């Protein structure tokens, strides 16, 4: 075991140096730095929306209905006198929470773990995991998410109301926890397939290397081989996939809300804001209703995808 530990330390040191060089290459790319700073700025504003904005997302000012951007309302107001900038920031916060939860649970925890197991163990386990993944992948992603959200929400909503009536728990429906759970589950359901396939492909090649045979020969456990010897060698592809996937999840969450299957009022979401202003009349007379949430959604999706491209170049050892 001493030999294995020494080898593990050498491997981890090599990966640490590789990641350091990759980060330096990434920071030399102006587009990557701009995307990182943009995402940090917009998500920070969303997280601290309650403290940044002087208004609440449900505050209505009937003397300032459909008011153009001005000193009091920097992004204007909507049809009920609510501040558009405040509601956009809260919509960004909702999108951030949902996409992070979906990526951590579906893409990273479930997807990476199943990919490691499937690629390393092979056989019937590999066949079972991949066939289940193919069933999910046979549906268009957005269609599967819509089906899950539409069918689960009424049942979970009834369960939450039953808990409120029969237990000391209160406010489950009012606080929007049901909506968060439904949307997160729907996003997780399809978010693991692509990651699992990519990791499996990497593991199928890596498991044939001599150092894996050496680890088995000295008695290394399966968990140690998976998470110490194999997983670090997949970090680059995981990081790039996460970045690209965050952009896709952001777009999917906004579409769900636009279809009325995401976060429900009174909590604001970018999708419902786009829906309420999604007509020619609004674009002609009150364009800020559409442009403000639309610009926030566009920036997040584009920034994540451009960052993914930059990460792919930075983490590729063949690039300079």
User: Would you say 306 and 36 are in contact if contact means Cβ atoms under 8 Å apart?
Assistant: no
Residue 64 domain-assigned? no
For the chain, what is the domain count? 1
Q: What is the pLDDT of residue 89?
A: 93
Residue 63 domain-assigned? no
299-308 burial code (b ≥16 CB/10 A, e <16): bbbebbbbbb
Mean pLDDT of 78-94: 91
pLDDT in tens, 93-133: 989 988 888 888 888 889 999 999 999 988 899 999 999 88
Q: What is the pLDDT of residue 45?
A: 93
User: Would you say 148 and 189 are in contact if contact means Cβ atoms under 8 Å apart?
Assistant: yes
Q: What confidence category does residue 3 fall into, taking pLDDT thresholds of 50, 70 and 90?
A: low
Q: What is the pLDDT of residue 139?
A: 73
Residue 77 domain-assigned? no
pLDDT in tens, 231-254: 888 888 888 888 888 988 888 888
Range of the domain at 144: 2-53+82-315
**How many percent of the chain have pLDDT more than 70?**
91
Mean pLDDT of 159-164: 81
pLDDT in tens, 34-54: 999 999 999 999 999 989 888
Q: Coil, strand, or helix at residue 10?
A: helix
Return the closest-CA partner of residue 180 out of 100, 80, 292, 87: 100
Rounded CA separation 146/253 (Å)? 10
Mean pLDDT of 252-269: 83
Residue 182 domain-assigned? yes
What's the CATH code of the domain at 194?
Answer: 1.10.3720.10
Residue 70 domain-assigned? no
Residue 301 domain-assigned? yes
Contacts of 101 (CB under 8 A, 6+ apart): 180, 184, 187, 188
Q: Work out the mean pLDDT of the chain and round it to a whole number.
A: 83
Collect contacts of 6-15 with beta carbons under 8 A, ≥24 apart.
7/211, 7/214, 7/215, 8/228, 8/229, 11/211, 11/228, 11/229, 11/232, 12/232, 15/232, 15/233, 15/235
Q: What confidence category does residue 312 fall into, taking pLDDT thresholds of 50, 70 and 90?
A: confident
Rounded CA separation 99/280 (Å)? 30
Q: What is the pLDDT of residue 46?
A: 92
Residue 12's CB: how many other CB atoms inside 10 A? 12
Preceding amide of 266 cis, omega within 30? yes
User: Would you say 164 and 172 are in contact if contact means Cβ atoms under 8 Å apart?
Assistant: yes
Q: Measure CA 100 to chain center.
A: 4
Residue 215 domain-assigned? yes
Q: What is the pLDDT of residue 127?
A: 92
Q: What is the pLDDT of residue 175?
A: 67
Residue 67 domain-assigned? no
């Amino acid at each position: 075991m001493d030999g294995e530990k020494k080898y593990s330390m050498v491997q981890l040191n090599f990966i640490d140096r590789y990641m350091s060089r990759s980060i330096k290459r990434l920071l030399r790319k102006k587009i990557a730095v701009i995307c990182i700073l943009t995402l940090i700025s917009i998500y920070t504003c969303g997280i601290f929306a309650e403290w940044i904005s002087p208004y609440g997302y449900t505050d209505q000012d009937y003397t300032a209905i459909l008011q153009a951007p001005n000193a009091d309302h920097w992004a204007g107001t909507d049809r009920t006198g609510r501040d558009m900038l405040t509601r956009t920031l809260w919509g960004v916060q909702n999108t951030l929470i949902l996409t992070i939860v979906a990526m951590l649970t579906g893409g990273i925890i479930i997807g990476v773990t199943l990919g490691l197991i499937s690629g390393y163990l092979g056989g019937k386990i590999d066949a079972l995991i991949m066939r289940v993944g193919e069933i999910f992948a046979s549906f268009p992603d957005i269609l599967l998410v819509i089906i899950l959200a539409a069918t689960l929400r009424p049942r979970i909503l009834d369960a939450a109301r039953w808990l409120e009536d029969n237990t000391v728990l209160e406010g489950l429906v009012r606080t929007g926890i049901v909506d968060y759970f439904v949307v997160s589950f729907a996003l997780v359901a399809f978010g693991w397939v692509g990651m699992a396939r990519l990791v499996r492909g990497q593991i199928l090649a890596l498991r044939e290397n001599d150092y894996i045979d050496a680890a088995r020969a000295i008695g290394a456990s399966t968990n140690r081989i998976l998470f110490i010897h194999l997983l670090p060698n997949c970090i680059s592809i995981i990081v790039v996939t996460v970045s690209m996937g965050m952009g896709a999840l952001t777009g999917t969450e906004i579409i769900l809300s636009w279809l009325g299957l995401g976060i429900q009022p009174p909590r604001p979401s970018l999708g419902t804001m786009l829906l309420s202003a999604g007509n020619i009349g609004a674009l002609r007379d009150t364009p800020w209703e559409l442009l403000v949430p639309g610009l926030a959604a566009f920036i997040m999706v584009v920034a994540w995808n451009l960052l993914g491209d930059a990460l792919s170049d930075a983490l590729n050892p063949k690039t300079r």
